Amino acid sequence: MATPLPVDTTTSKSAATHNADADTNYSNNQDLLQVIINDISSDLNVNTINPYPLKNENQEYLKFLSAFPEGKESVEHQLDIYVVDMFAFLSAKNKQKSAKLVKKIDYFKKKYSKKRLITKKDLQPKNSQLELKKNSPRVSNSSLESSETTDSSSSCGSEQSYEVSDTDISLLETMENIQYTLDFRIKKGKVNSLDISLMRRLCDALLLVMKHETGSFAKKKFASYAESAFYIFGSFIEEIAEFRQAVSEKDISELRISLLLDKRFNTESQKNAVAIMVRIVLFCLGEGYDWRDLIDPRKQATMQKYIEKRIEVFANDRKSLHIQERKVDLYPPPALYSDRNIAKLVAMFNVNVDSGITDNEEVNKRLEHYGANELPQQDKKSYFKIIFDQLSDFMVVLLLIAVIATAIAKEYNSSIVLAVVIILNTFIGVYEESKASKALDSLKSFVVNTAKVYRNGSISLIDSKNLVPGDIVEIEEGDSVPADLRLIECSRLSLVETILTGESIPVMKSVESIRTNTNRLALGDSFGNCFMGTLVSRGRGRGIVVRTGSSTEIGKISKAISNNQTSKKTPLQKRLHKLGMWLVIIAILLCAIVVIAGVAWGHKFAPMFLSGLALAVSVIPEGLVAVTTVTMALAVRRAAKKQAIVKRLVAVEVLGSVTCICSDKTGTLTEGQMGATEIVTSTLQSYSTQNSTDLNPDSGGILIGSKLGFSADIKSNTSSSTFLQKNNMSFSLLELIKICLLCNNSQIKFVDDKWKGFGDPTEFALLSLALKAKMSYESIKSKFTNPDGTTTTYPKKLHENPFDSERKLMTVVIDNKNADKNVDIYAKGAPEQILKICTHRIDDNGSLQKLKNSDIKIILHECEKMAKRGLRVLGLAAKSESMSNFETMMKEVPENDSENPNLKADDSFKNKKKESEIQEQIATYRIKWAEGDLAFVGLVGLTDPPRKGVKEAIKNCQSAGIKVIMITGDHLDTASAIAKQIGILQPNIPEMDRAITGPDLDLLSDETLASLKPFPSVFARVSPDHKLRIIKTLQKMGHISAMTGDGVNDAPAVRQADIGIAMGIGGTEITKDASDIVLLDDNFSTIIMAIEEGRRVFDNILKFILYLLSCNTAEIILFLMASVVNVELPMPTIMVLWANIIADVPPAMSVGLEPQEKNILKRSPRSPSAGVLNKSIDNPLSSLAISVQPDIDAIKKVDEYTHDNIPDDLILSTPGLTAKETETAYYEKNKIYHWRGDL
């Protein structure tokens, strides 16, 4: 073990003194910053050779320190996150290797070892009590694999294997982030000391990562992230003293094995890097070591001359040579930067928030570095490639072989028949695959063509593809976001992010930074970011572009779709492929037997070869492709009548094999529309609404429920099934409904023969509640004639304080033309915020009661209970103020802003900004006036309720052995509540009582996720890449998965799933294009009917496969018997084809029309690993083949008496008969009607 490296002697005396003083005398970061600034200021007169003026350099450094006052603490925080990511990758990589090894071992065990009895111990799952914790390590160190997981990954797992491309990309991003932290925070920030324990972990992680290689054995090379780790390792040695100490503590052999310098000794630049690495590592290790200790002895001779020559150069130049050259232009890697404040963002992107990027050359550099802001173009398959892929299908290849064989035998009619079957099948496949390529084209509709950008001190409209990270972009109501932004300024900004999260409720935005312990933040929680393609529903804002093009969220969706363009093999196709392989082997073997037997009997080779071909043709069920296609086409037609449009023909069969359905919540399991379902007034009287999501005012109404007083006991239960009338409502309920009506900016109109809501979904849900209570604006309005003769309509909105993410409140000032000349102030918002501004509560008779702390606790307890039922709870409050107070407040403005000399008539950006600041201060003043001393009125619970019939449909799925999983971007509590209502989560059943969030999912590797017992039934707060990962994990576990979705965020998972299902009404075009099936009624229950149809198809396909193979087996037995006893083969090739196609196909098609079996949904799905032939089929196949044997003889005898062989005199002597009647008469005359009857 090497001796620890002493303290770095290259550190200047002033810096060392400063570090000591900082450690002993300053605990506050601001004090430490001031010391550093003083030290730098004292050094300004030092004469140093520098290409830049020293004064300017230190001014930049002071500016940098003001943006990052926390110093090395934030650097350590970031590096700690990256180290955790690296170890997570290493753990996942090892588990993937282990899984592959275990899988191979299990395969050979099953194949070669003797079967043993399965005991109860074998059936007990391992690690069944595994629990997830938000603060747990990213990857658990405990073994999480179970035998069940390994054994189950047979069908789909064997086809797709354990891919690591996603992990590799993630690690490459991590290395880019570490490199940027090194260049920007450490080098530029002049940080030369970090936590020693962190540096030891970083050293270990880098040494492990840099060893990774990719490629085949003959073409192995280091992975790109391994190369990055190598150079980062050297740079940290050069920059950080504690890292040098961590390296000095390593054993020399460990360093030699990890660095692999001999394998990196290729190009001139690599040779130079190796030589520098040797020098700096030996410097860490101290005396007693030589360069040979770091290099494989077998490679030292080839490297000696170069290494020793470079060491001589290094002896004369110890400072200017570095393993990585210092970068002049430092560009941050694409990321959301939700945890960075505005000052840090400005420093990182080197941009002025007021003027934007001022150098056009800098724009071009960034455009070259990051690429254009456009979605990646899809490499479309040529029609030639699509046709080739269709023709390379194994069953089609068998048919092609049959075509060639029949052509060689000069049976041209047979060849034509087979060729027609191939052409028809190929045409269907090409048509389906050409339609599938439209998915990426649909994404282009979300790309904005232009963007408002601040450049060179002014705002301009540019092509959005020319946006670069660092640009300052302005957005306002109605705009689509042109790139991923980190907000630096916003005013009541809210965006609709449905395309990414699937949730229709607008998200309020804020400029506040969000500090987390991970780089991954749920999209729904990224309140400081705006995402490309989302729509601004209200407010305005400015942001720094942080991600463009393929790095954006919608760009990642585009890449996920384009990376999954390969056609999916269905379970039946896989089984038929395996069956075809066996049939080919059997055909070749039987052909060889016939030829050998014939030659052994003295026959010539050529005719025996043709006989062997005839036998080979008899093995292949030529009609199978045609019958399968026709049967599935008929099933598609039946599914269409049940509101399911099947776009991919084979998809209908996949439905019958589905073992797991992953469903989006909003719009699929729920109605997709908010409704006010529960009410609790200020007296704690509860009410419920019927048909809350139906916007028709005449549909439904308000029902009275139980009452809980402000004491601990329940006073009464006065629930009723009769809708309350307006004259029977209490004062508090009437006031609550009035707030829902007037504190509202939405509208409900009867358009296109149905009621539609316009505005915020939450607001028109509240408006619908008021309309169902028979309170509308028309019913309460009154007109008043003014002294000047004009007419004013009341109630009249005088002022509004819009909802924002900080206050979580909305207030309006309404003039109801009361006799006391007061104005009414109504407020709605988050219950906890409403209670903060309330001092009283309204009684049922309209009097005000003091709001006590005990009252607040009871109200908050009711809020908690409502939230647990999956409700989104809003609080409502009101008060009255005199009109004179309101008019006085509106005339007043904040101090020193009434006359501002900086505001001029010109339209400059600075004046606009100053005016905006003044308006913000005025708004704050008016908010404080309105939002205080209010009276609490009540609570309203809103929800998106489950669809009718969904609960029964899920129950049918579960009885059919199909697991249903909810995947949603909504909050965990809301998702869990809905899942419990419809039966997806069942607390009494351990296997169906686990729900996790997207951030929790990030803590797990794919293998750990797959080994969870039980597997989660609900995934909440997920992003599009989470959905894709869940589907891939299920496929690796051996499931045949279906994924339902409607939004853009669902498209990658819908495309990846074995069967993708899109919503026809609420679904986006991209999801429809990516799917295999479209539900016309957006109803989950339709999926169950489609699964029922799929199982029927699969059953019928198996039946006619049994039928066709039994006929072919009979032919094989007949041919083999003829060959063995040395008699002429009973049928030529054309007759074999006639029997296989013409005689067998029509009856087989009739089998495909058979009705479904009883209780088809009561049985478990067929195992994905099961083949076409098994014991349940082999036995009837053998008996059928033997029973069909006499029929083959009959076919031969009938052939001898075809119409062509009937005597001409018989035909001439019966002129009144048709050819068919003549043929029948001849059969009867020759006593062969018995055999015809058998046929």
By annotation, the residues acting in catalysis are 664
Q: Which two tokens stand for residue 821?
A: 């000349």
The answer to whether residues 156 and 658 touch, using CB atoms and an 8 Å cutoff, is no
Query: DSSP letter at 1223?
Result: H
Q: Which residue carries 């899109």 as its tokens?
A: 1062
What is the DSSP secondary-structure string of 621-634?
-TTHHHHHHHHHHH
The answer to whether residues 1173 and 1185 touch, using CB atoms and an 8 Å cutoff, is no
- Between strands 838-842 and 934-943, the pairing is parallel
The answer to whether residues 640 and 646 touch, using CB atoms and an 8 Å cutoff, is yes
Q: Which two tokens stand for residue 779?
A: 């019913």
Range 811-838 burial, b when 16+ CB lie within 10 A, else e: bbbbbeeeeeebbbbbbbbbbebbbbbb
The amino acid at residue 1199 is D
Query: What is the spatial distance between Cα 1137 and Cα 417, in angstroms, rounded to a whole number?
Result: 9
Angle at CA of residue 599, ends 595 and 604, nearest 5°: 95
* For helices 394-408 and 571-600, angle between their N-to-C axes, nearest 10 degrees: 30
- Cβ burial, residue 858 (10 Å; 0-12/13-18/19+): middle
The answer to whether residues 179 and 1044 touch, using CB atoms and an 8 Å cutoff, is no
The answer to whether residues 82 and 174 touch, using CB atoms and an 8 Å cutoff, is yes
Q: Which residue carries 């900080």 as its tokens?
A: 806
The answer to whether residues 815 and 913 touch, using CB atoms and an 8 Å cutoff, is no
Query: What is the spatial distance between Cα 252 and Cα 255, in angstroms, rounded to a whole number?
Result: 5
Query: What is the spatial distance between Cα 838 and Cα 937, in angstroms, rounded to a whole number?
Result: 10
Q: How far from the centroid of its chain's Cα atoms is residue 309's Cα?
A: 54
Q: Which residue carries 């008539």 as its tokens?
A: 905
Q: Which residue carries 């550099």 as its tokens?
A: 365
1048 closest CA partner among 377, 474, 561: 561
Query: What is the spatial distance between Cα 1010 and Cα 1004, in angstroms, rounded to a whole number?
Result: 10
Q: Which two tokens stand for residue 415?
A: 């060849």
3-state DSSP of 1091-1127: HHHHHHHHHHHHHHHHHHHHHHHHHHHHHHHHHHCCC
1121 closest CA partner among 1189, 1180, 1199: 1189
User: For residue 1091, how many C-alpha atoms fall within 13 Å in the half-sphere facing its CB?
Assistant: 33
669 closest CA partner among 405, 984, 1103: 984
1073: phi > 0 → left, psi -120 to 50 → alpha, else beta; which? Answer: alpha
Query: What is the spatial distance between Cα 546 and Cα 880, in angstroms, rounded to a whole number?
Result: 47
Helix, strand or coil for residue 965? strand
Q: Which two tokens stand for residue 526?
A: 């990224």
ω before 1014 within 30° of 0 (cis)? yes
Q: Which two tokens stand for residue 292?
A: 């040979």
Query: What is the spatial distance between Cα 692 and Cα 765, in angstroms, rounded to a whole number?
Result: 8
Q: Which two tokens stand for residue 266?
A: 């290729």
- Cβ burial, residue 545 (10 Å; 0-12/13-18/19+): buried
The amino acid at residue 38 is N
- Phi/psi of residue 1123, each to 5°? -70, -40
